[in-house]
Amino acid sequence: MRRACLTNANTKVVLLILAILLGGSNAFAQKKNVNRAKAKLLAEVPDTKGAQEAILPALKDSTTKNLASTWFTAGEVYNAIFEEQQKKQWTTKNGDQNLMGESLVNALNAYVKADSLDRLPNEKGKVKPKFTNKIVDRTMRFQRGFTDAGSYYYSNKDYVKALSMFGSYLSYPSIPFLKNKGLEKDTLISRLTYYCGLCATQANKPEVAVKYYEQVKDNNADSAWIYARLCDDYSMLKDTANMVRIFQLGAQKFPKEPFYARNLINFYIYKNQMPQAMEWIGKALQQDDKSAALWNVKGRLLENDKKLDDAADCYNKAITLDPKFSDALGNLGRIYYNQAVEELDRVNAIRDDKTYRKEKVKLKTMFEKARPYFEKAYEINPDERDYVVALRGIYYNLDMSDKYNVMDKRMKDMVK
């Protein structure tokens, strides 16, 4: 008997039939996996590990990965794992808290995916979700678990995972199936937003931290700390515009706290923006006119602007407030010393001997005026070279040779 030979056309038909049969077989297998996962959860003694092993292939296979029922079942599996470990933790303190956290995230993601597929139009173009009520119930029930997981990771210094857990809790009001549930009124949101900022700070992620701190900076018991933290973070990020903005807002919000105004002053001085620096010194002194440091800084700005009499008044106010403020003492002494040195050049140019001697006496009076300020400043801070140099010059012009020799030796020792 002759055997029939397959033609090319017949071969293609057979291969197509085989592909359909194999594909159908695979689809059946994956749907069977979904059913197996359900069965393991509903068993008298639930097998969560087996349920997870059964559902994982179905989440990746093309025949089942786009079915709402597949992802809803996955959510049920991970929710069951979470509840199983949570019960152990409550009863024996032996629950796997890391597994609890991972299961929470997987459950939420699975339910969100299930809901998005469940809301797609059917073949008739109609939207008939089947799982919404159960999904809402499950996710609302385990939301608080994210705070426990976040606290667990934070206490174990895993700040990135802690941030993820707290962030998951905060994501609830924006989840489509949870909108219009009033979750934005949750009183925990503000506190957990702050915790997210702390986690980001601890994880050295200032670019993330500022986003959370900005949300709660004005309605938190730690607002003062948050404002200061924002200043540091924006500085670290080299975000000058926002750093200055927070300094300005901080100065307004905390008028009795000099930190913000003083940092603004320093910033403007560093940028050589003296009008702005002077403006903020004025505001700072309105808040605290008993600050010797502020009067001293104002004096420096006025001195740089050649307003020496006004500068001397500021230094005197600083010294009155703090008699041991060496910087202000030295600054005031410097004004008088520089005036004496300028006068010295004029006097040395005088040709007439009688006039020279007369002016020389006046000159000594000017050096004498500077002397007590530098002596006091040197007594407080003997390592400041400018004080030694000034006193050496003063003693020389006042013919105080013994003291001059001491300062001369001191200056030479400083050079060594």
pLDDT tens per residue, range 139-180: 999 999 999 999 999 999 999 999 999 999 999 999 999 998
- Looking at the domain assignment, is residue 272 inside a domain? no
- Looking at the domain assignment, is residue 78 inside a domain? yes
CB-based contacts of 10, cutoff 8 Å, min separation 6? none
Alpha-helix runs per DSSP H in 271-352: 274-287, 292-304, 308-321, 326-348
- Looking at the domain assignment, is residue 37 inside a domain? yes
- Looking at the domain assignment, is residue 373 inside a domain? no
- Looking at the domain assignment, is residue 355 inside a domain? no
Domain range for residue 145? 29-119+130-216
The pLDDT of residue 22: 45
| pTM tops 0.85 | no
Q: Which residue has the tokens 């420096």?
A: 300
Long-range contacts of 238-245 (CB under 8 A, 24+ apart): 242/210, 243/267
- Looking at the domain assignment, is residue 340 inside a domain? no
Q: How far lies 109's CA from each of 69, 116, 367, 373, in Å?
A: 14, 11, 80, 72
**Residue 186 scores a pLDDT above 70:** yes
Long-range contacts of 292-296 (CB under 8 A, 24+ apart): 292/317, 292/318, 292/319, 292/321, 292/322, 292/325, 292/328, 293/262, 293/318, 293/325, 294/258, 294/262, 295/321, 295/328, 296/325, 296/327, 296/328, 296/331
Give dist(CA 226, CA 139) in Å, integer.
31
The domain tally of the chain equals 1
Give dist(CA 249, CA 164) in Å, integer.
30
- Looking at the domain assignment, is residue 181 inside a domain? yes
- Looking at the domain assignment, is residue 43 inside a domain? yes
The pLDDT of residue 358: 86
Read off the pLDDT of each residue in 270-294 and give the average, rounded to a whole number: 90
266 compared with 375, residue with greater pLDDT: 375
Give dist(CA 172, CA 208) in Å, integer.
19
